[in-house]
Amino acid sequence: MSIRTVTFDAVIVGGGGAGMRASLQLAQSGFKTALISKVFPTRSHTVSAQGGITCAIASSDPNDDWRWHMYDTVKGSDYIGDQDAVEYMCSVGPEAVFELEHMGLPFSRTEEGRIYQRPFGGQSKNYGEGGQAARTCAAADRTGHALLHTLYQQNVKHNTQFYSEWLAVELVKNAQGQVCGVIALCIETGEVVFFKSKATVFATGGAGRIYASTTNALINTGDGMGMALRAGVPAQDIEMWQFHPTGIYGAGTLVTEGCRGEGGYLINKDGERFMERYAPNAKDLAGRDVVARSMMMEILDGRGCGPNGDHVLLKLDHLGEEVLHSRLPGICELSKTFAHVDPVKAPVPVVPTCHYMMGGIPANIHGQALRLSAGHDGDDQIIDGLFAVGEVACVSVHGANRLGGNSLLDLVVFGRAAGLHIEDALRQGMTQAEPSTDDIDQAMARMRRWNESDKGDSVTDLRKELQQTMQNHFGVFRKGDLMAEGVKKLADLRERIAGAHLTDKSNAFNTARIEALELDNLLEVAEATAIAAEGRTESRGAHSRYDFPDRDDENWLCHSIYDPLTKQLGKRAVNFAPKTVDTFQPKVRTY
């Protein structure tokens, strides 16, 4: 089967913050760039980010230092964030944030006219010695929306070529293992096209939809990670899933950590501010993993709220109507809509909810995707032609637990860095890896499989089963035997998904086909998560095990590397060699 081929210097898959920051960089330099997005770019999940973008721009505190931000991030990562990458992100951050402001991002302002910064969890001054910092740059509580629309506007200005509502289906790689581009499906017409390019950038975001309860958009199905795993690219630290402390109970929609930054706090059924017990200093602004676990402990100890005692409350009314309406207008709207509660009058019911994938495609600070050379503990090897930025990438700046406000920074810093690197590489004559007809045909196999299916389970049922399995077996607290059972269930699901049935085979805007293709991706990410979670025999950051309750630096002060071909878990060293500052040595992590 032959398909139409279009050729570009660079193809970016994903129209969220990271993808559009990368495409902007390339469009500005005049290279032939396409951006493929399965939704119109401003509908990407970046739009839902609320609280802000953390960065030491020294507005709220003129003495703020990016090294303090770096310290917080390394500590937050439970010491498996790569220190050279964290150093890069925190030091380049201010430049990237100022660029956004120059592009027109409508940040909230201080009386001095500078960008408004609010306190967020895990932030400190002077390497943890100077108390709470306020380092998260905000546009009210709609920072992601403001950021995404600003980037889209700049891409419009610079004439980026958008392929909106096109779903990337599969990577095309040749016999040498080089990436030559992607196969993508036009959702409107059903046409399948080979996008051939020198650089293929995955900016496909997370996969929160592997869980039944998530703050993530319905589109967050891990398409990039899924494609990568099927192409034999490993996943790093994929067991590390952040559960956000404040998802609205029942609905799963997010209320920002900025609520607690502005002075809100969590209470149990006795009205007690319980975080004072778990984190005496930072209290409600401890790391997200710490707060989420504390909430679960309260609930498990019978101090949860509601008739089933299965959630806690976020108290905001003491902040007053004026603060709530000026600083947190979106939150007031959301909690009225989804919790039927006006935060001005009553506390909001919340529960830890799956939020962010810390793991992903291993990548360096230029966004180049990596695999390990022979054996699992080998050296890094760059995968020609493939790049990963944003949530799908694991650079790794977040390690085992991401700090609030660091994801938006990650997007713009590494979207930009990848753009800059590719620009440079193209100038120096980066070559196009050539695929054979067979290589392209192989990438079409999955499309064909679904199109030829004539019986089997329904996509919806399988998806729900998968999500429930992940929810029950790989949640906030994990246990060896329960996880082993989960891994078995996923193996069974893999077989049934391979034989599942796509009933609607029409071409025009066939969302049933899209959901089927997404299910394959969910499965890849879920299985990688499950095997990696079972394999990491310690508790670190967001990965918390009953059977291994302590951090084990002797064996696990490293990245986990899941190899999709063997389904084995390997290890990769964490970088402890920042270029301009001294290494932050692992310490016991308390807030």
Active site residue ranges: 288
- Give which of 322, 295, 323 is closest to 311, Cα–Cα: 295
- Binding site residues, another protein, CB under 8 A: 39-40, 42-45, 47-48, 57, 97-98, 101-104, 106-115, 139, 142, 145-146, 149, 153-154, 156-157, 188, 217-219, 251, 253-254, 330, 333-334, 337-338, 458-460, 503-504, 506-512, 515
Nearest-approach distance from CB 63 to another protein, in angstroms: 15
Nearest-approach distance from CB 152 to another protein, in angstroms: 9
Contact 235, 47 (CB under 8 A): no
How far apart are alpha carbons 197 and 531 in whole angstroms?
A: 33
Nearest-approach distance from CB 45 to another protein, in angstroms: 7
- Give which of 2, 118, 128, 141 is closest to 61, Cα–Cα: 118
| Amino acid residing at 451 | N
Return the sign of the alpha-carbon dihedral for residues 213, 287, 335, 46: negative
Angle between helices 406-427 and 143-157 (to 10 degrees): 20
Nearest-approach distance from CB 117 to another protein, in angstroms: 12
The residue (of 61 and 101) whose beta carbon lies closer to another protein is: 101
DSSP state of 174: -
The residue (of 1 and 508) whose beta carbon lies closer to another protein is: 508
How far apart are alpha carbons 177 and 368 in whole angstroms?
A: 14
Q: Which residues of 206-219 are buried (b: 16+ CB within 10 A; e: fewer)?
A: bbbbbbbbbbbbeb
Between the alpha carbon of residue 320 and those of residues 40, 314, 315, 396, the distances in Å are 37, 14, 11, 39
Nearest-approach distance from CB 411 to another protein, in angstroms: 16
Residue 368 CB partners (closer than 8 Å, separation 6+): 382, 383, 386, 387, 421
Nearest-approach distance from CB 90 to another protein, in angstroms: 17
How far apart are alpha carbons 70 and 65 in whole angstroms?
A: 9
The residue (of 28 and 590) whose beta carbon lies closer to another protein is: 28
Contact 56, 64 (CB under 8 A): yes
3-state secondary structure 187-199: CCCCCEEEEEEEE
Contact 328, 52 (CB under 8 A): no
Nearest-approach distance from CB 549 to another protein, in angstroms: 35
| Other C-beta atoms lying within 10 Å of the C-beta of residue 434 | 11
The residue (of 153 and 472) whose beta carbon lies closer to another protein is: 153
| Other C-beta atoms lying within 10 Å of the C-beta of residue 571 | 17
Nearest-approach distance from CB 326 to another protein, in angstroms: 9
Q: How far apart are the first and last CA of the chain?
A: 59
**What does the DSSP assignment read for 410-460?**
HHHHHHHHHHHHHHHHHHTTPPPPPPPHHHHHHHTHHHHHHHH--SS-BHH
How far apart are alpha carbons 392 and 361 in whole angstroms?
A: 6
The residue (of 14 and 330) whose beta carbon lies closer to another protein is: 330
User: If you count DSSP H runs as helices and E runs as strands, how many of each does the chain have, helices first?
Assistant: 17, 22
Between the alpha carbon of residue 57 and those of residues 151, 466, 530, 579, the distances in Å are 20, 43, 39, 21
| Amino acid residing at 535 | G
Contact 68, 115 (CB under 8 A): no
Alpha helices in 435-538 (DSSP H): 437-443, 445-452, 459-473, 480-498, 511-535
